[in-house]
């Protein structure tokens, strides 16, 4: 503006825009530099409680229990012959699969490896299953 290279209105427009961005970034830097020791101590205090999934489940109301089960088992969880069955499990709980399988509490049914198979319909799109002839895909 001082060298007559840009107009006053253009300078004011961009000055306001960048002044706002500068204020935002300065605020973020200030937050990141702040002492968060108290917050970390509180989180570390609460962490064991958050890791107690059975305890959380026991204290939860029925709707919250259902939500928790749906988060762990993304697909239907069925019960048959004294054992639960599911095709998938939330990856956060996958480390427990071996232990659960050994205790015969859960049968983890692998989904079919051929993803072109849709159990809900036939190759022609009908819901009535007909024998597959091996052609048509």
Dump pLDDT digits (tens) for 74-87: 778 888 888 888 88
Residue 96 DSSP one-character state = G
- Indicate the burial class of 39 (C-beta count within 10 angstroms; 0-12, 13-18, 19 or more): exposed
Rg of the chain over Cα atoms, rounded to whole angstroms, equals: 29
pLDDT score for 21: 93
In which domain, by residue range, is 83 found?
Answer: 47-108
Residue 96 lies in a domain: yes
Residue 125 lies in a domain: no
Greater model confidence, 22 or 76: 22
User: How far apart are alpha carbons 72 and 75 in whole angstroms?
Assistant: 9
Average pLDDT of the residues of the chain: 78
Strands (E) in the chain, as ranges, are 78-80, 83-86, 106-108
Asked if pLDDT for residue 112 goes beyond 80, the answer is no
Asked if pLDDT for residue 132 goes beyond 50, the answer is no
Residue from 76, 90, 69, 65 nearest 119 by CA = 76
Asked if pLDDT for residue 10 goes beyond 80, the answer is yes
Residue 134 lies in a domain: no
User: How far apart are alpha carbons 9 and 15 in whole angstroms?
Assistant: 10
Asked if pLDDT for residue 121 goes beyond 60, the answer is no
Q: Give the residue-averaged pLDDT of 16-20.
A: 90
Residue 70 lies in a domain: yes
Residue 117 lies in a domain: no
pLDDT score for 122: 47
pLDDT score for 2: 61
**pLDDT tens column, 35-47:** 888 888 998 998 8
% the chain with pLDDT above 70? 76
Residue 74 lies in a domain: yes
pLDDT score for 130: 47
Residue 37 lies in a domain: no
Q: How confident is the model at residue 48 (pLDDT cuts 50, 70, 90)?
A: confident
CA distances from 127 to 26, 56, 115, 123, 124 (A): 60, 41, 18, 10, 9
Residue 78 lies in a domain: yes
Q: How many domains does the chain have?
A: 1
């Amino acid at each position: 503006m001082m060298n007559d290279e840009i107009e006053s209105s253009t300078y004011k427009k961009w000055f306001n825009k960048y002044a706002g961005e500068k204020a935002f970034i300065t605020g973020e830097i200030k937050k990141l530099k702040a002492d968060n020791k108290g917050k970390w101590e509180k989180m570390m205090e609460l962490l064991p409680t958050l890791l107690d999934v059975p305890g959380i489940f026991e204290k939860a109301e029925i709707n919250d229990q259902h939500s928790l089960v749906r988060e762990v088992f993304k697909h239907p969880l069925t019960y048959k012959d004294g054992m639960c069955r599911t095709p998938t499990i939330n990856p956060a709980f996958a480390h427990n699969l071996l232990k659960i399988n050994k205790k015969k509490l859960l049968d983890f049914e692998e989904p079919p490896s051929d993803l072109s198979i849709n159990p809900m319909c036939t190759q022609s799109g009908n819901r009535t299953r007909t024998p597959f002839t091996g052609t048509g895909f």
